[in-house]
Amino acid sequence: MAPMKRTVSALMVAAPASHQGKTLLSAALVRLWRRRGLAVAAFKAGPDFLDPMVLARAAGRPVDNLDPWMVGEAACRRRFARAAAWADVVVVEAVMGLSDGAPSSADLARLLGLPVALVADASGMAQGFAVVPLGMRALEPDLHFLGVLANRVAGARHEALIRTRLPADLPFLGSVPRDAALTLPERHLGLVQAGELPDLEAALDRAAGHLAATALAEPPPPVPVPAAPPEVDEPRLRGRRVAVARDAAFAFVYPANVDWLRRQGAQVRFFSPLAGDPLPDCDALWLPGGYPELHLETLAARTDLMDQIRAHHRAGRPILAECGGMLFLLRSLRDRDGREYRLAGLLPGEGAMTNRPQALGMQAVEWAGETLRGHTFHYARAEVGWSPTARARRHPNGAPGEAVFCRSGLWASFMHLYFPSAPRALAGLLGAQRKR
């Protein structure tokens, strides 16, 4: 491991709200600085799966999530310090608006001592554009704002107008033009997955070219690397073979979860249900969330895989199914057009896709003496014939959240779990072997 550095060039790319363009511009900064020969580490604030896929394409490596509640404050500092040990610059993309959430991206910036570059959509604004960064600074007066980057600017005259009322101590960092090629497409749950965007590389290069003419062409000044306590690993899953579904239908996988499995001593074996892969020889199966609803015809045709999963279950081997993974284990799932597809049937019930989100936000569930943390975001309903074994609580208000169904070695919920939040509980779920 590289020795820990005392300082590193770093910043948070934030915005006053969602849909301002911070994912593309964060990724463009990563691409720009990498093209100049710098080693760049990228992180995503919050529990998002889709934005990190874009950042990972720009960074050329997996992108971890940072959240003081889900990941934990000490672990956030530790992950940041590890990145700082090898990186010349660290980029953290904020989540939602800078001040939104509990904890917010502003809280994360404070925790890590990050300066903030504010991205704001300038569409339909002129001199009044200054209200946005001035208002954000008034809300978060203890943060260091590097300045503001205007997105979707119509031209040179428009840029001149939006710069007019900005004070000298909140500098204008530059602008990115209004350009259809610089808009990342979205669907329900967020951005379209990076692997489905054939023009993503060109978009990143194009955006990086625009940023090369801004004040962000050079990385920001160094900041102190926060101290973090060392992590102690216990290899509770040593020798266990854990099969993990991973493709466009089952893509919602935190890199930290895979890293945690390996640090616990597990052998991780990826397979693609969409590509026709059989279930690998394994001791435990993890079916993560994703977009199974977009691939139901292909998944419903995988009767061979469903037979293998049922045999795995009959053999007493554990299954962890999250959100889309849980939907795959139902008897059937209806798409938004009302078409019904027969699925694995390990969970007695039916599911249906909806046009409105059914749940959104951070949640936690008490399990085996620990608090399993994670989040939920889905456009599906499921009627399960079992009584819930437990029920999660929403953060921060503690209201009832997602049901957890656990029976005969199968653990299923709409929750996406952050494995390192409860290592003993997760090791118990994936390491248990039920007698036949």
Instruction: Enumerate the active-site residues.
Output: 323
Question: Residue 128, Cβ neighbours under 10 Å: how many?
Answer: 12
64 phi/psi in degrees, rounded to 5:
-85, 160
Cα separation, 220 vs 428, whole angstroms: 44
Spatial CB neighbours of 178, under 8 Å, sequence gap ≥ 6: 123, 152, 153, 154
- Please choose, from the candidates 134, 127, 172, the residue with its C-alpha nearest in 3D space to the C-alpha of residue 150: 172
Answer whether 279's CB lies under 8 Å from 309's CB. Answer: yes
Measured between alpha carbons, how far is residue 77 from residues 225, 229, 284 in Å? 8, 8, 31
Measured between alpha carbons, how far is residue 353 from residues 61, 188, 249, 336, 377 in Å? 33, 11, 15, 5, 13
Strand arrangement, sheet containing 416-417: 267-271, 241-245, 284-287, 319-322, 410-413, 400-407, 390-394, 359-367, 370-378, 416-417
Helices 255-263 and 423-431 sit at what angle, rounded to 10 degrees?
70
β-strand 241-245 against 267-271: which pairing, if any? Answer: parallel
β-strand 410-413 against 319-322: which pairing, if any? Answer: parallel
